[in-house]
Structure 1
Amino acid sequence: MKIIVFTRFRLILQIIFFFTLINSTIMADSWEKKADMPMPRYRHKSVEVNGKIYVIGGYNIGVTKRVQVYDPATDTWLDKTSMPVEMSNFSICAIDEKIYVIKGSIDAVCDLYEYDALTDIWTKKADLPTARRDHEACSLDEKIYVIGGSSNAGVLKIVEIYDPRTDKWIKGKDMLSPKTQMAVESANGKIYTMGGLDGNLLLSGIVEEFDPNTGLWRERVSIPRPRYNLATCVLEDRVYVIGGMVQGKKDWENVGTVEEYNPSQNRWSLKATMPTPRSKHSACSAGTNIYVFGGVGENWEQDPLSTVEKYNPWPSAISPKDDLPATWGNIKK
């Protein structure tokens, strides 16, 4: 009798251990290195169209207008037609097969250019009404929201909305507080601004949410680790905040911290740290993965990075189609 009880108890423990192992393996997130960018750069932007990622503009030796396309399926790079002008400190977003690039400038007009990924052609569009730099943009309901940034007047909370169908701009509802060098994303039918610098150029962890149905902004739970010059992207309606600059003990420091924001639960989760700490980089989702491009590393006074790293949020070690082993301890198939 004792032997039967012991055997059953051991069997239960094996089953618990087995499924705990499967669960922890499936839920583990991870990073891996991919093919370097042909041209190192920082303060560039990246955006996904039809499964490929377009890396645009930024700084190398000087400001560049170069456009390069990364194919996640083959881990290869291809050059495309350069922008009409060099750009850094700009914003970008995509609607269908079109990419919209909004130039940053505090003392001149902010050009808007449309790139057709199917024809590889750039077209000049209506200028952004308010000249500024270090603004951010996102698309929502087939329109482009350009938010925040800085000008000669200081840090801005201005929102301006562009309609590609009419090539016209309208004034949007201002953010609750001014921000620059922050992140902007649309997820779950709403817009989120995160981190950056506030009106006094102090580090901010504030998260604001804009609801187009009410036309109102409201504050949400702040970023656990405030930073600026960060990169963000959206995957499965969750916002991933990746890397950036934080205030260290003596000076600014670049970090590899990754945090995931769930808008529906208004909750943050800490994820696997990016191998290369960096800031002034870009991030973009394609398929079920996230890709991080370039920027500057731990010593942010050194040359820009060409490093590309891929983040796997939900790698699965065991496929549902795979058979279990014929025997596993006392468990039989």
Structure 2
Amino acid sequence: MGNRSSQRTKDNTSLFKVDISSNDQSDISNILYDDSNSCLLAVQFNNKHSITVLKYSCSKDEWTPCHTIPMKGLYRTAIVKNFLCFHDWLQGVRICCYDITTRAIRTVMPLKEDQPYWSCHCLAEFQDCLYLIGADVEDDRRVYCWNPTNDVVTLIPLLITGRTRAACLKHGGYLYVVGGQVGSIGSFRDTNSVERFNPRKNRWELCAPMEVARGVLALASAGYYIYALGGDCRDIPTNIVERYDTRDNQWTQMAPLLVPKCFAGTVYFNSRLMACGSFGTSEDCSIIEEFDETTNKWCRKNNMPTEGPFSYVLATPEWTRQLESLDDV
């Protein structure tokens, strides 16, 4: 496999940088999620039990179970049309897509069965498709796209910088990929590089790098901003928080988390930034913190009612009602 990311960046003959003057902000208002348009769900993963989905009540600051999926899952979650997508615990190269209309489970498996980095690639919903980043050790620039309409997996243009252990996020008409690790086996290093996929030009564009290189961080979309929380630096969990302003392509360090978090559940909901998790998945992952933007401080909230780890997802009220109705059948 040889050297990967550090050299492969140089292989791209045309490197495009973000042009903020041409930003597509047409749907920026739709990035702000609250009780009027969304439901906040927490997907609980446990290697000994089934997956439990919990629903958040903002008025009561309470989480209540709303559905159980009879299989094991792992870490990251995305909603794509009528599917809840997650990594399969037993065979991590496979992505499980749980159909909330039929309870059926589709599997997406673009990778080889001997793929050794199955827990280190990230997934995100973008334009009603599922995107997988850093999922191929033979070339970690490859980005897979699963279209649930025709159940077909395709490749989109290569990343500028190949990476594993990154985070990805849909925001303002673009797909952002942030941080992770680059290098070759035995000599990986954290990266602070950031890029975004521009679907109108069908290409990746370089964004300003984070101030601190790290992997397995968490991202949250908040209006014109993207928050990057926690992760690990040189395999040490961190509480670093940075905020990216899409209008001027700049990162700013914010107040650090009270507790370092890796693979955190993170969301911006009802004008509040929430983060759930701890040093690692073997620690107490029920810890929730909330960020006060006016004071630039974090405070502890009521813990999740059960052990984690958790992944936060936002769903429409209609999608959530359909999920809940499965238990009425």
TM over 0.5, yes or no?
A: yes
Deviations 1:212-247 (CA, angstroms, capped at 9, x unpaired)? 111111011211222212222332343321223369
2:77 maps to 46
- Is 2:186 the counterpart of 1:151? no
1:254 maps to 284
State the alpha-carbon separation in 2 of the partners of residues 243 and 39 from structure 1.
22
Alpha carbons 2:237, 2:279 under 8 Å: kept: no
What TM-score, normalized by structure 1, do the two folds share?
0.67
1:33 maps to 65
Q: Which moved more, 1:178-187 or 1:76-85?
A: 76-85
Alpha carbons 1:105, 1:131 under 8 Å: kept: no
- Is 2:111 the counterpart of 1:82? no
1:218 maps to 252
Equivalent residue of 1:175, what SS?
coil
2:195 maps to 160
Equivalent residue of 1:122, what SS?
strand
TM alignment of 1:196-215, pairs within 5 A: 196-198=231-233, 200-215=234-249
How many Å apart are 1:136 and its aligned residue?
0.1
2:302 maps to 272
State the alpha-carbon separation in 2 of the partners of residues 154 and 32 from structure 1.
40
Equivalent residue of 1:276, what SS?
coil
Q: Which runs of 5+ in 1 are unaligned?
A: 1-24, 292-307, 310-333
Alpha carbons 1:235, 1:288 under 8 Å: kept: no
Deviations 1:120-164 (CA, angstroms, capped at 9, x unpaired)? 332221222322211001122211111111123411111122112
Equivalent residue of 1:88, what SS?
helix
Letter in structure 2 aligned against 1:123:
T
1:235 maps to 269
State the alpha-carbon separation in 1 of the partners of residues 317 and 268 from structure 2.
11
- Aligned-pair identity in percent equals 22
Q: 1:119 to 1:265 in 2, by over 3 A?
A: farther
Q: Which moved more, 1:183-192 or 1:30-39?
A: 30-39
Equivalent residue of 1:108, what SS?
coil
Deviations 1:277-311 (CA, angstroms, capped at 9, x unpaired)? 223x422122469x9xxxxxxxxxxxxxxxx99xx
**What root-mean-square deviation, in Å, do the aligned CA atoms of Structure 1 and Structure 2 show?**
3.2
**Number of positions where the alignment pairs a residue of Structure 1 with one of Structure 2:** 257
State the alpha-carbon separation in 2 of the partners of residues 254 and 37 from structure 1.
22
User: What is the aligned counterpart of 2:206 among 163, 171, 193?
Assistant: 171
How many Å apart are 1:258 and its aligned residue?
1.4
Equivalent residue of 1:275, what SS?
coil
Q: 1:172 to 1:29 in 2, by over 3 A?
A: same
Equivalent residue of 1:240, what SS?
strand
Q: 1:31 to 1:275 in 2, by over 3 A?
A: same
Alpha carbons 1:205, 1:227 under 8 Å: kept: yes
Q: 1:80 to 1:241 in 2, by over 3 A?
A: same
Alpha carbons 2:72, 2:88 under 8 Å: kept: no
TM alignment of 1:62-141, pairs within 5 A: 62-69=91-98, 71=100, 77-85=103-111, 87-104=118-135, 108-141=139-172
State the alpha-carbon separation in 2 of the partners of residues 106 and 187 from structure 1.
32
Alpha carbons 2:73, 2:89 under 8 Å: kept: yes
2:227 maps to 192
Q: 1:58 to 1:245 in 2, by over 3 A?
A: farther
State the alpha-carbon separation in 1 of the partners of residues 163 and 137 from structure 2.
5
Larger Rg: 1
What TM-score, normalized by structure 2, do the two folds share?
0.68
